[in-house]
Structure 1
């Protein structure tokens, strides 16, 4: 059962016959602007489905599992305040969040409270400043996924790649990953600062710099939508590839805003080419909840609860014991077996790795996704 974004509510727990006080999970989700609300809706649907299925089989040692949902609205300060509140409410663990900068703020506060946090969707490598035992992550690190995207670009013959970027730690980190991966392979990254350029000026810069690809490291709908429309309408740029590694074209809002102009724009998604039986069953249930095909973010939400339920069972809902369980967990997720380890310079427990695809929407059928590369 999911509580309203501004209330912890326990009415669902009171109706549950499993017995015992509910085990509460705090859930951080972007549900209002400027957050990516469609991603938040999919993430929440996955979390809710996971909780429902855990309770259908007896909850956590006979105690019902309950979500206490807070809307982050893509605001790091709001997320940090929500963590403070949730910790005071006695949640056993923290879950969720889509936006990397927001998840980073939440991770710092959770670590300070000794609160285990399983990050569902944020990919920024430096999720915490220092290594911590309390934070784990399902989504791949940005350096892993974006290197796969760079490999796709090189394989498609793109060596002069422009990035139209808003100022952000997340976008800057992604640009650095691309540049570090492309440079040794005779690739060049051309920076276009969207604080100073109109969409029309970006088109002129692409021609002047002889770029063959433009990556949209910007917010949606502004300035992504007018930028796509400008490039698509410019006859000088017919052969230029548009890309959106952060995954915006995954969601229906993208198609609603752009129509066929939003097709053939490769993006990263974290799904296998073929779902296992658990994934197939979850996909059907998520489709029913959402009224549309679930994105990879919905699967991340479902897998988050599956992992946390296993951790809470082994830890007895004790925060310290739950956090200590990350390296011992082995959970069958919708997208494959999930285990956590220490990986490279990443400061949190990491699933290494979820499946990674570069995909796009088929111009002939906007509801169909084409897998262009796996990594």
Structure 2
């Protein structure tokens, strides 16, 4: 599956193309809607890059692989794409999958721009081969913890499944809240049914329960159970990982899915570029684009810049997959790109092993109960 440069109407002088391997979840158990939005952003940006003349006169082409949220499948796709001679890798939404991709890309010497996954430890050791657009989990989830405290919630329950990602999120919340007089009790969804979760919430006198769980299940069933338990009428449900962002959430839950705060990586106001891209993405998707679609667009904008920089600074005599890939990795800290959500530059952030966009915007939002298709900004940083 790949985009075709011929679809843009641009005629190219030769057959040379710049191929980028794209990894996205398009099938279960992955969050397929997130994958489709991410890919829509990629495809829109590629079309615009090619209509503007490509990269150094060469068209940009995507070679897409469905990860289905499977780390092993994703790692195998990295090997395949590397063998095809792609200039770089990009994409992924699920943090555990992105970690597998980053590790394999680092081992192969293949540049990887992570679009949406947030797990702090994408690689075990510092690397120059990997850069990331999304804010690290420690920053985003601390913003969410600050929101909880400001909203008056200091006794938190985390209904969580077993996962490196959920465990990291629980640890971030617990450490941040504990230092400010709050507490987190963990409810193990490996043993508790939705009704048993409700019983635990009553017994623990929690004022908020966070869904650290997969979508649609068991997250949807827990929301329904809590919403319809009279003992829990005053409890807040939260979903820091962003499950309510997508239309499927609204379809499955209706009004029960409103007023559930989650993290979203958009500025309070889009730039003129962001507004133009939003309109184009809305037309492409047939619905309002999620923040993930903007991440996809920004990924291609950055790659076009770094690949162009690498091509311009690599002597023709040295142009091979290895040389060009190394120059792309060197370009991460060299470029500044106007993205849909702000100026994108990469730097080294303490505790993060990859090149990081440190200023990525962060919001806490929810679906407005009075207008379910609208989002309310509750907190921003």
Q: How far apart in 2 are the matches of 1:73 and 1:137? A: 21
TM-score normalised by length of structure 1: 0.97
Q: How far apart in 2 are the matches of 1:159 and 1:268? A: 18
Please give the root-mean-square deviation of Cα atoms over the aligned residues, in Å: 1.3
In the TM superposition, what whole-angstrom CA distance separates every residue of 1:30-71 from its partner, at most 9, and x where no partner exists? 000000000000000000011001001000111000000000
In the alignment, does 2:81 pair up with 1:86? yes
Counterpart of 2:149 in structure 1 is 154
In the TM superposition, what whole-angstrom CA distance separates every residue of 1:331-350 from its partner, at most 9, and x where no partner exists? 00000000000001100000
Post-superposition shift, 1:12? 3.6
TM-score normalised by length of structure 2: 0.95
In the TM superposition, what whole-angstrom CA distance separates every residue of 1:338-367 from its partner, at most 9, and x where no partner exists? 000000110000000211000000011111
After TM superposition, where is structure 1 displaced by more than 2 Å over at least 4 residues in a row?
8-16
Counterpart of 2:117 in structure 1 is 122
Q: How far apart in 2 are the matches of 1:45 and 1:19? A: 27
Counterpart of 1:280 in structure 2 is 275
Q: Indicate conservation of the 8 Å contact 1:13/1:66, yes or no.
A: no
Post-superposition shift, 1:113? 1.3
Q: Indicate conservation of the 8 Å contact 2:38/2:296, yes or no.
A: yes
Matches within 5 A, 1:1-375: 4=1, 12=6, 16-20=10-14, 21-316=16-311, 318-375=324-381
Q: How far apart in 1 are the matches of 2:248 and 2:359? A: 28
Q: Flag the 1:354–1:86 CA change in 2: closer, same or farther, 3 A.
A: same
Larger deviation, residues 312-321 vs 331-340: 312-321
Task: Give the paired residue count.
Answer: 369
In the TM superposition, what whole-angstrom CA distance separates every residue of 1:308-351 from its partner, at most 9, and x where no partner exists? 00000000181010100001110000000000000011000000
Gaps of 5+ in 2: 312-320
Q: Indicate conservation of the 8 Å contact 1:137/1:351, yes or no.
A: yes
Q: How far apart in 2 are the matches of 1:90 and 1:10? A: 17
Q: Flag the 1:239–1:14 CA change in 2: closer, same or farther, 3 A.
A: closer
Q: Indicate conservation of the 8 Å contact 1:18/1:59, yes or no.
A: no
Q: How far apart in 2 are the matches of 1:282 and 1:34? A: 29
Q: How far apart in 1 are the matches of 2:306 and 2:215? A: 36
Q: How far apart in 2 are the matches of 1:16 and 1:166? A: 48
Q: Indicate conservation of the 8 Å contact 1:34/1:73, yes or no.
A: yes
Q: How far apart in 1 are the matches of 2:8 and 2:197? A: 57
Q: How far apart in 2 are the matches of 1:91 and 1:60? A: 14
Q: Flag the 1:199–1:340 CA change in 2: closer, same or farther, 3 A.
A: same
SS at match of 2:284: helix
Q: How far apart in 2 are the matches of 1:201 and 1:75? A: 30
SS at match of 2:165: helix
Gaps of 5+ in 1: none
